[in-house]
Amino acid sequence: MNDTTESMGQAIRRMTIKEGKYLTFMLAKETYGVGILKVKEIIGMMPVTSVPRTPNFIKGVINLRGKVIPIIDLRLKFSMESIPYDDRTCIIVVEIDSDESTVLIGIVVDSVSEVLNIKSEEIEETPTFGSKLDTAYILGMAKMDGGVKILLDIDKVLSTTEIQLLEKSGG
Amino acid sequence: MDVLYKIEKDLEDFSRLHGTFCIGEVPDIGSMIMILDDLVQSGKKCVPDTFEAVARACRTYVKNITLEKISHTKPIEETLVLMKAILNHMKRGVDFTFETSDVMELLSVSVLKEDEDVEVLESEETFAEDPGAQNEASKLPETGNSTEHIPDALEKEYPPPERLSDDDMEILVDFVSEAEDNLDSIEVSLIELEQDPSDVEIINNIFRPFHTIKGVSGFLSLKKINQLSHTTENLLDSARSGDILIDHSATDAILESVDMLKKLIQRVKQGIEKGFGPDDHDIDAEGLSKQLEKLHRKLTEGDKSLLGEILVEKGVIDEASLEESLVEQKVSRSKKIGEILVEKKNVPPEEIQTALAEQKTFKKQVDAQVKVSTQKLDDLVDYAGELVIAQSMLRQQAAGDSSLSQSVEQLGQIVTKMQTIAMSMRMIPIRATFMKMIRLVRDLSQKSGKKVELRMSGEDTEIDRNVVDALYEPMVHMIRNSVDHGIEKSEQRIDSGKSRKGNIFLRAYHKGGQIIIEIEDDGKGLDKDRIREKAISTGLINEDDKLTDSQIYNLILEPGFSTAQQITDVSGRGVGMDVVKDGIEKFRGHLNIDSNSGKGTLFTISLPLTLAIIDGMLVRVGDDKYVIPTTAIQRAFKPDQKNCFTVEDKGEIIKERDTLIPLLRIKNMFEEQEDKTPPWESLVIVVESKNEQKGILIDELLGKDEYVIKSLGGNLKSVKGIAGGAILADGKVGLILDIQGLFNLVSTTQ
């Protein structure tokens, strides 16, 4: 009995945690969202120095006001077809919880749309799509008038272990 | 309880008023005095009269502000803190047994004598300053044989340490870090004082930190620390005013007190980690305090008043009246010799003043310092670098517009200056580390019974603070080794025609963009044959291996190597030199040993000036730019076609001056694309790591510069072959090659 109430509470909490403000952006024709608290800043595309022996979705590193931060192309990360960068292309600098501290990582997206306030009743659990699609890093789907937004758990998308694993297989 | 509540409320009002107070705002002063009146009234109802006295003194002080006799509000601030501390103690029902005299002194300093209140205050002050009474009060909980202080006696059942609130925690953390710094500085000054016991400036340098520790520990209710630092301070105060001379026994006692305080502060630290107040019941600070007092008394009696001597010398008084006054001083100990002389009308007060001034002709060191977190410093360095880049971009855009480019030039000068300062802020003199060695040598020479003197030079050499921290451990090891293995016993030294005292030289200087630290002793030197023997017996080398002297010396850097015949407390466990070597190499440094049998040993540590910056050569390979650390670069040349050879059409080698150099192609290694440019059309840079040489093919040398090493950030910390990133002049990121990493790549994949 106790167990069920607890898990119910946890489920509710999980739902309410998802509620909040999201920065939405476009990738191909899909709209994605990341929690606004994760976003440090949005910058235009700038020269990227590629780093050898890293997975292809790691575009390289940039100089963000004296700090060197890695850049990840989200299209490549999601195995989507890559397109040439244009003036709509943006780098969203996000803060990722790493083992010891937080690290800054830039993600390249087609364009940045807007900041949306998403309520918990608008968020639905992620459906499963079979083995073709890993949904572990999707928080949920938000049904809005404008269509469906895919809410990303950016920490999981860019998890340290995954990149390190890829690094090893790549090298 | 109501009284305490009222006091608390009044104090809150008072601190609010004080916070917004400006000199000259009479209405505010009016309300302040009203509150203080209330506080004095409430204070009368409280058991210890300390609170009332403090409130009274404060009221007098504020009144004096009204009369425009004083213009400082600092004493009021201090009083507020003190009153709050007393209130806290009253709330807990514990006696407030700490020094109030400092604040009282502050408050009374500019108050005119005729005021009644001041006299009340002064009697209070003398009470608090009397070390005997002070101790009696704070001793009670431990001894528990007092009949008057029954609640205190009950405390013998040591109460468990109190849980700390977040606020307390913060203050305590600050206190601990400050006290640790202070104690270190005391140690250094003490040793200096031993050389010159009459130097008032050094005494002051010791006195001040003790004073700070005493003050802060008082407010934080750290009784033992407070008490111990108080007695030590008293002793130093007498030395400061010239009443006593700090001799060897006093130095030892003060050092002991420093050690004890360190122990106590360690407890506070441990307490903080657990979130509780310090648990220090097992540490007996009492005995040491008593010892210090006894010493204080002995020194005061044994020594003639230095002030008196000055006066005699000046012919103001004669020997006889000085003796007389000294006898009197023994009777009424609390008075100073000067006061007695004036009272007896022997000397006009002005003469005492000038004599006192003469006694205190020390230069006051004015080096106001601010503590800044290294993170902030690093950020500043980053931004300064970024500013340089932004400015160079601006300069390009301003080309053609003469007035604009003039302004940009001006900006450039400021930016450059700022960057230099930002960089230099990370640098600190190595003095602090050297000074710690003095204490070490002193202790070691006492323990081993050898007479050793440490001579230093170049203590002001500046070095990156991370490197300074890293140097401490290796230096301790090496100095221990020198004292234990190097320096001989006195008799042996005299037999071999050396001075009785052993010498250890510690030198620091800059040389060719590196910092060199030398540790030299004039002991017996390394025993080549014994090292060889030992190395053979442990299987490090073979019997018939032929080694140069320097190779033999370097054997002692191998793990588990110790030739000491007997394990001593000081060293000889066979861990040491290999740790030293690792520690230094971790910071891209180098350790060299040179020894002369019978004459001594010289250890030379060379380290890069800073860990954050490397000297690098910028090279172009295809469209990419890389930085190669100059330390790794041997030479660069354009090879002749006839000297280029291939192995199985894949591996490439170049013959140069009778050596074969394997070639590396960065593109092939990094981008998995075939780079087929013939070697004779590009440049070869020969790089070395761990005595292995390889050539790297590049297209162009772009120049040599200093680069700030930056982590690639995120999850890219361990990319093989890349040591990090550097911001290039054009604002883009360049990759710094890790030569050893590159070599490893080749040896595994090819």
User: Per residue in B583-639, pLDDT tens?
Assistant: 777 777 778 888 888 888 888 888 876 666 677 889 998 888 899 988 788 888 888
Contact A65 B712 (CB under 8 A): no
Mean pLDDT of B263-272: 81
In total, the C-beta contacts within 8 angstroms joining chain A to chain B are: 89
DSSP letters, B119-176, are HHHHHHHHHHH-HHHHHHHHHHHHH---SS-HHHHHTTS-PPPPBPPHHHHHHHHHHH
Task: Confirm if B532 and B493 have CB atoms less than 8 A apart.
Answer: no
CA neighbor of B354 nearest in space, from B411, B406, B418, B311: B311
**Which range among A35-39, B141-145, B513-517, B562-566 shows the weakest confidence by mean pLDDT?**
B141-145
Instruction: Please report the pLDDT score of residue A108 as a whole number.
Output: 93
Residues B614, B616: Cα–Cα separation, whole Å? 6
Q: Would you say residue B113 has pLDDT above 50?
A: no
Q: Residue B649 has which token pair?
A: 């059409």
Q: From B745, which residue of chain A is nearest by alpha-carbon distance?
A: A171
Q: Would you say residue A32 has pLDDT above 80?
A: yes
Instruction: Please report the pLDDT score of residue A97 as a whole number.
Output: 77
**Which range among B51-60, B411-420, B684-693 shows the weakest confidence by mean pLDDT?**
B51-60
Q: From B668, which residue of chain A is nearest by alpha-carbon distance?
A: A52
Report helix, strand or coil for B323. helix
Distance of CA B260 to the CA centre of its chain: 18
Q: Would you say residue B376 has pLDDT above 70?
A: yes
Contact A163 B715 (CB under 8 A): yes
Instruction: Please report the pLDDT score of residue A43 as a whole number.
Output: 92
Q: Would you say residue B220 has pLDDT above 70?
A: yes
In this predicted model, which residue has the larger pLDDT, B325 or B297? Answer: B297
Q: Residue B483 has which token pair?
A: 């004292």
* Strand extents, DSSP E, B622-712: 624-629, 633-637, 644-647, 651-656, 659-664, 683-689, 692-698, 700-708
Four-residue CA torsion sign, B89, B91, B95, B101: positive
B contact set with A (CB within 8 A): 381-383, 385-386, 624, 669-671, 710-716, 718-722, 724-725, 727, 731-735
The H or E element spanning position A111 is strand A111-118
Mean pLDDT of B542-571: 67
What pTM does this model have?
0.48
Contact A68 B731 (CB under 8 A): no
Least CB-CB distance to B727: which of A66, A70, A96? Answer: A66
Q: Residue B352 has which token pair?
A: 């005492």
Q: Cα distance from A143 to chain B (closest Cα, Å)?
A: 33
User: What's the mean pLDDT when you consider all of chain B?
Assistant: 73
Instruction: Please report the pLDDT score of residue A91 as a whole number.
Output: 94
In this predicted model, which residue has the larger pLDDT, A2 or B619? Answer: B619
Mean pLDDT of B640-649: 81
- What separation in angstroms does the CA of A148 have from each of A26, A107, A108, A128? 12, 21, 21, 16
In this predicted model, which residue has the larger pLDDT, B333 or B672? Answer: B672
Residues B336, A113: Cα–Cα separation, whole Å? 80
User: A47 contacts in B (CB within 8 Å)?
Assistant: 731-732
Q: Cα distance from B690 to chain A (closest Cα, Å)?
A: 23
Report helix, strand or coil for B541. coil
Residue A100 — pLDDT band, cuts 50, 70, 90? low
Instruction: Please report the pLDDT score of residue B623 as a whole number.
Output: 83
* Percent of chain B clearing pLDDT 70 (strictly above): 71
Mean pLDDT of B158-165: 60
Residue B319 — pLDDT band, cuts 50, 70, 90? low
Q: How many alpha carbons lie under 13 Å from residue B537 in its C-beta half-sphere?
A: 10
Q: Residue B268 has which token pair?
A: 């506070």
Residue with token string 């040896």: B747
Residue A12 — pLDDT band, cuts 50, 70, 90? low
Single-letter code of the amino acid located at B316: V
**Contacts within 8 Å (CB) and 24+ apart, B166-170:** B168/B220, B169/B272, B169/B275
Task: Confirm if B337 and B308 have CB atoms less than 8 A apart.
Answer: yes
In this predicted model, which residue has the larger pLDDT, A35 or B427? Answer: A35
Q: Would you say residue B456 has pLDDT above 50?
A: yes
A contact set with B (CB within 8 A): 47, 49-54, 58, 60-63, 65-70, 96, 98, 103-105, 158, 160, 163-164, 167, 171
Top mean pLDDT of B16-25, B313-322, B417-426 is at B417-426
Sheet holding B683-689, edge to edge: B633-637, B683-689, B692-698, B659-664, B651-656, B644-647
Kindly tell me the burial class for residue A107, based on how many C-beta atoms sit within 10 Å of its own C-beta (0-12, 13-18, 19 or more). Answer: buried
Contact B731 A69 (CB under 8 A): no
User: What's the mean pLDDT when you consider all of chain A?
Assistant: 79
